[in-house]
Amino acid sequence: MHQRAFLSVRKLLALAGYSDFDLYYDEFGKPHLIDEKQISITHSHHFSAIIISNEAVGIDIEMQRDIILKIAHKFVNDEELSRLQKTDLTDYIKKLTVKWGAKEAIFKIKNEKGISFKDHIQVAPFELNQTQTTADLNFNGAEQKFNIHFSELDTNFTLVYAFENNDTIQEH
């Protein structure tokens, strides 16, 4: 499975006009392109995706699974949980998956030790039919906003990608 993901990412790079030699990883494992465009990579089961941009970007694919109900307390704080309506279990799992994916995408952008998904990244309320929301990262005395985009792949996978919203950086 890991080898397939590796090869599929290389194929996606080729489709985007890059070779394996155009991609390198820094000491923290973050991918970079030699032309200084921003790249983020993700894979989950039989899906792989890359996103390339002129601005900082992060991407994540997650399978929608019941296990997220058991681990939600580790990545979503009480305020975020209270805003989610638990009326439909399937939608609740999908929303939690979007929140996880958004936080993972933001972490891929920032890639800083000590960032807590639960304590430092808050995703604004959203509905599944909207496909966009925002999120805030409050870390080390700075607040930064991110634009979040999400969609469903097949019937049980969620794709989420994030861009920095550079107009909203505030120092505290």
Q: Which residues pair with 139 in a beta bridge?
A: 142
Q: Which of 2, 4, 9 is nearest to 23 (CA)?
A: 9
Task: State the pTM of this model.
Answer: 0.91
170 vs 140: CA distance, rounded Å: 11
pLDDT value of position 155 = 77
Mean pLDDT split into 10-residue runs, the chain, 172 residues: 85 95 92 96 92 96 96 93 84 96 97 94 94 96 95 92 73 41
Helices (H), 111-150: 117-120
105 vs 101: CA distance, rounded Å: 6
pLDDT value of position 28 = 86
54 vs 131: CA distance, rounded Å: 22
Q: DSSP readout, 150-163? A: EEEETTTEEEEEEE
* Domains in the chain with CATH codes: 1-164 (3.90.470.20)
Instruction: Say if CB 105 and CB 59 are below 8 A apart.
Output: yes
pLDDT value of position 167 = 59
Distances from the Cα of 95 to the Cα of 26, 118, 144, angstroms: 32, 15, 22
Q: Supply angle C-alpha 10, 12, 13, rounded to 5.
A: 65
Taking the alpha carbons at both ends of the chain, their separation in whole angstroms is 44
Burial state string for 60-91 with b = 16 or more CB within 10 A and e = fewer than 16: bbbbbeeebeeebeebbeeebeeeeeeeeeee
